[in-house]
Amino acid sequence: MYGGRYAKVSGTYSTGAVTITVTGAGSSSAHIFTVGDVIRNKKTGENMLVATIASATTITVASTGRSFGSTAEAAGADGDGLYRVGNVSEENSGARNVNVTRSSAETNFTQIFKTSIAVSNTEKEANLYGGKELPYLRAKKATEHALDIENAFWFSEKNSNTDGTQGHPRRSTGGVLEFIESNNAYVQDQGGVLTAPDLNTFLREGFTYGNDTKYLFCGGLVLQAINEFARGQLQTVVGQSTYGVNIQKYTTAFGSINLIHNPLFVEDYAGYAFLLDMECFKYRYMNNRDTKLLTNVQANDTDGQVDQYLTECGLQRVQAAKCALLKGVSA
């Protein structure tokens, strides 16, 4: 992500040489600034020249750096917006101080998913009307296994403990919901019917960072509302599917949205929608532990067959600010 350009004054500052405490740009808000930056107080209109970065949350402005332009200097108040509008350097000067952004470390666990299939040898060999039982159960359980993984990727929370019967580590992967809600991404709790202005507010905030094309995974109530007030603006992408599902494209002034109805979002989650920048997520699995069908894992004396789907995988999640959550939509 690019460096920040906006912070807020915390407390007050007077005229003349000052130390300004800043907030609103993470835990080290002052670090979005560099010596030589020109900053503008939106409320007073004054431009100032940053003299030093005194700490992670404070910057200084010398008396000669006040009124760095035609607007007179003025005292600043709590909550005033400070915009980084550019930087100035004197002639024949050297390179500026380096100020770069880096992604903060994000960690997650891989989770072991298991889905078992069991038939007696009698069931296995019987000629049933719909075909052999074992192939049917393998197909059915493969879908259930995939659904377990997808549900975890949406709703699971990152955790690790050794509370199992054998005392070995037992880990769960963190999902999208936890990631958005715990990382200060935009969350709009609608608490009622979704209107076109409400959706515009959500999209305005959700497109603040990231790509101008995103994916909106919707519960039925959200999609129903959008269908009502966006008729004529929805474009079906004929013959195209993304992530294995058909999509509709909704073009707005903020960006393009690929609308996807997620049938997993039912009951209490029918009023949820996740606006995702898909660059923020990747499917990860342990070496040689992607989905496999393990056959004949039953005990040696069992008169039957037990198979098992096994996957050890997790969701890689980065840069939550590029995503947003809409929840609480009702009919």
Write the Ramachandran bin of 26: left for phi over 0, alpha for psi from -120 to 50, otherwise beta. left
Q: What is the pLDDT of residues 119-166, one digit of tens each?
A: 999 999 998 888 899 999 999 999 999 999 999 999 999 999 998 778
Q: What is the 3-state secondary structure (H, E, C) of the chain?
A: CCCCCEEEECCCECCCCEEEEEECCCCCHHHHCCCCEEEEECCCCCEEECCEECCCCEEEECHHHCCCCCCCCCCECCCCEEEEEEECCCCCCCCCCCCCCCCCCCCCCCEEEEEEEEEEHHHHHCCCCCCCHHHHHHHHHHHHHHHHHHHHHHHCCCEEECCCCCCCCEEECCCHHHHHHHCCCEEEEEEECCCHHHHHHHHHHHCCCCCCEEEEEECHHHHHHHHHHCCCCEEEEEEEEECCEEEEEEECCCCEEEEEECCCCCHHHCCCEEEECHHHEEEEECCCCCCEEECCCCCCCCCEEEEEEEEEEEEEECCHHHCEEEEEECC
Contact yes or no for 84/39 (Cβ under 8 A): yes
Domain limits of the chain? 6-87, 107-331
Domain made up of 6-87: CATH architecture: Beta Barrel (2.40)
pTM above 0.85, yes or no: no
Tell me what pLDDT residue 251 has: 84
Quick one: which of 113, 110, 148, 114 has its CA closest to 308? 114
Mean pLDDT, to the nearest integer, of 54-80?
A: 96
Question: Tens digits of per-residue pLDDT, 36-66?
Answer: 999 999 999 999 999 999 999 999 999 999 9
Q: What is the mean pLDDT of residues 11-30?
A: 91
Sign for the pseudo-dihedral over CA of 5, 94, 63, 20: positive
Q: Percent of the chain beyond pLDDT 70?
A: 93
- Token pair of 318 as six digits: 């980065």
CA distance 168 to 155: 24
Residue 232 has a pLDDT of 61
Least confident of 208-212, 216-220, 292-296, 308-312: 208-212
